[in-house]
Amino acid sequence: MNKRLRLYAILGIFFIIALTRILLTSKNETPQKKQTQKKQPTQKQQFPFNIIQHEKLSYNEFMKHFNVIGQKRVPGTKSHKQIENYIIGHFEKLQWHFEEDVFTSKTILGEIEFRNLIFTLNLNHKIENDAPFPQENTMVFAVHYDSKYFADIDNFIGAIDSAAPCAIYLQIAEYYTFLFRNSQFKHLFSKQSYITQIQFIFFDGEESFGKWSASDSLYGSRHLAEKFKQQNRLSYMKIFMLLDLFGHKLDSPLKYYFDSTSVFHQQFVLIENFLREHNLNALPKERPLFSDKKADGMIEDDHIPFLQNQIPCVHLIPDKFPEFWHTEKDNLDVIDPNSVVDLVKILVLLFLQITTK
Ligand SMILES: [Zn+2]
């Protein structure tokens, strides 16, 4: 292995072809169609091999965020507001475009205000001067940042549900921005890549306040899908990836739920194998994070309102929930540093793969 990251040369072509197919067959074609038809990348990437051994990808870095987010985050409360501000402040520092989607909704606890947070990085630097919003192929990474309200549990913090996924996203966004703005790598981020816009969406009100139902759950995602639909913005959403219930030692690897996007799981498996072959991951071979097998059934989560609008979705969630799910045992004790660090690296490599030459 030479000093350069050959990952893309080895795995990239297969993935890019498959991804292009997803983009071209997604139901709503956009004026950007031409972009998806540019020639396939064939050159080796010039990222130094150690980009995935950077301090910013460490567990310590994850914990900085987790220590703030890993507390009660029930919508309408003070600590929820604090965490919301922390997330906004983080992306402000990174200079991503920020918009919020604020609304109120009736719940069994009365009228509650919810706030979805949307952060966007346009790879062609279009975002400031393009009104109303750059209409480009967007890949969405979604998560929910509220924690579930329990009348009978005092300190439910939802470590995997979804404090850890939020912390992972903040960490990845920071490192990706660092690479994107680094003059050494600038030329590698391509205007010709299939995805030209990355968007992180932090949904509010994913959890139900009482028993889960169509009306008591997914407050934030239902509202935003409807709003984006009315604004004609859903057609630019080419992939919607949702991470939930992650951070603990998985009982079994993450499987895929949708045939249309199974290529992402194949890619995750390839990236994970690549990391393992080069001793760059932490988890042993017997306990991989990803599987290219299909999960049974489907899990209701924030992707549903987007799936119903024909957006190709990738749902990263264990098909069997751990026993501590929705109990106060879902706290820092269950977080597995190796699983966290490996996922961070895998997602960073995926980001690079979809947005570089
Ligand atoms: Zn939950």
User: 100 an active-site residue?
Assistant: no
Quote the radius of gyration of the chain (alpha carbons, Å). 19
Which one is catalytic: 61, 206, 272, 319? Answer: 206
Expressed in angstroms and rounded, the spacing between residue 320 Cα and the centre of ligand 1 is: 13
Q: What per-residue string of b and e applies to 227-245 under the rule 16 or more CB within 10 Å gives b?
A: ebeeeeebbbbbbbbbbbb
pLDDT tens for the chain, 357 residues: list them: 344 555 554 456 667 666 766 666 654 433 333 334 444 444 445 677 778 889 999 999 999 999 999 999 999 999 999 999 999 999 999 999 999 999 999 999 999 999 999 999 988 877 665 555 667 889 999 999 999 999 999 999 999 999 999 999 999 999 999 999 998 888 788 767 778 899 999 999 999 999 999 999 999 999 999 999 999 999 999 999 999 999 999 999 999 999 999 999 999 999 999 999 989 999 999 999 999 999 999 999 999 999 999 999 999 999 999 999 999 999 999 999 999 999 999 999 998 888 887
* pLDDT (0 to 100) of residue 201: 98
Which of 244, 301, 319, 342 is catalytic? The answer is 244
Query: What pLDDT score was predicted for residue 297?
Result: 92
Name the amino acid, one letter, at 317: I
296 has catalytic annotation = no
User: Which of 112, 83, 117, 85 is closest to 100 using CA atoms?
Assistant: 117
CA angle 135, 136, 137 (to 5 degrees): 140
Domains defined for the chain, CATH in brackets: 7-355 (3.40.630.10)
- Work out the number of other CB atoms within 10 angstroms of the CB of residue 105: 17
Tokens 């975002």 identify what position? 127
Question: Distance, CA 175 to ligand 1 centroid (Å)?
Answer: 27
Ligand 1 centroid, distance to 304 Cα (angstroms): 15
> Residue 22's pLDDT is what?
67
Q: What separation in Å is there between the alpha carbon of 103 and the centre of ligand 1? A: 21
Determine the distance separating the centroid of ligand 1 and the alpha carbon of 146, expressed in angstroms.
9
Q: What's the gap in Å between 230 CA and the centre of ligand 1?
A: 28
Q: What is the model's pLDDT at position 179?
A: 93
Ligand 1 centroid from CA 78, angstroms:
20
CA distance 165 to 178: 20
Looking at residue 27, its pLDDT comes to 47
